[in-house]
Amino acid sequence: MIGCGVELSEAVLLHFTDTHLLEDSSGVLRGVNTFSSLNRIVELAKSTSFNSDAIVITGDIAEDGSTEAYKSLLRSLSSLEAPIRWVPGNHDNPAAMKAVAGKTELSKKSLSLNNWQIFLVDSTLNGCAHGDISRSELSWLDSCLSSTSDDIENTAVCLHHNPHEADAIWAKTIGLQNYADFFEVLDRHDSVRFVLHGHIHQERRIVRNNVSYFCSPSTCFQFAPKSNSFALDKVSPGYRSLTLRQDGSFNSEVHRL
């Protein structure tokens, strides 16, 4: 395991999303004990993605926005012994996240890893299921992508909401609403290699302008794709690992229980 900012020939980034933890760790949501499911995912990660160098979590960490849910997440992930960054989703409580993060770098919106810099963007809109990236947040991202140090040639972006329309009819209105503004920023920067997101609880990859947009499975329950009304899928929960190389190439793999 290495810390952020240390260079190796390649580094491993883990992506967890949509854990939906509850204040009561024994609580069940949609038939799943979300804390137990997360713990099983962590054990899977330890057996399949050893030597992980950093972890990003793209929102909906807590179903109920409780402080205890965020503490439960950190307890579960502690055995992976890797630097963690998180960004909120529409179910999250940013104030509680900030309080739990304290003086740590959990809520820091960037990390350097190998010849890569990764930026985390807040796409939440208070009280709404859909997402919208504020003008100030887009300006911040544009500035960050423009001012990466000379020795950083590759960048990636993480957010909660899906920037491409969901393929389930019921979910078409809950994605990122100002995706065109987001794409406009990304299109200005040739360094962007991929985007990670969650929100729609399924594995998906879309390539746009040579940038891969990856949605990773939830660590608990999954949404059925291409459904007219809300429905759960029978596929197992999981997470994504990405191997990042100094030359800008990368491998991505989804691991499931």
Calculate mean pLDDT across residues 218-247: 96
Q: Is the pTM of this model over 0.85?
A: yes
Q: Please tell me the total count of domains within the chain.
A: 1
pLDDT at residue 199 is higher than 60: yes
* Cα–Cα distance measured from residue 178 to residue 213, given in angstroms and rounded to the nearest whole number: 16
pLDDT band at 50 (very low <50, low <70, confident <90, very high): low
- Residue 204 placed within a domain: yes
Domain enclosing residue 189, as ranges: 10-256
pLDDT digits (tens, 9 = 90+) for 100-112: 999 999 999 999 9
What CATH number does the domain containing 24 carry?
Answer: 3.60.21.10
- Residue 3 placed within a domain: no
Angle of CA points 12, 138, 135, to nearest 5°? 155
- Helices and strands, counts by H and E, the chain: 5, 11
**Range with the lowest mean pLDDT among 46-50, 52-56, 168-172, 189-193?**
46-50
pLDDT band at 4 (very low <50, low <70, confident <90, very high): very low
What beta strand segments (E) does the chain contain? 10-16, 54-58, 84-87, 110-113, 116-120, 154-158, 192-197, 204-208, 211-215, 238-245, 250-256
- Residue 92 placed within a domain: yes
Calculate mean pLDDT across residues 7-36: 93
As a whole number, the mean pLDDT across the chain is 94
- Residue 1 placed within a domain: no
Beta-strand relationship, 211-215 and 204-208: antiparallel
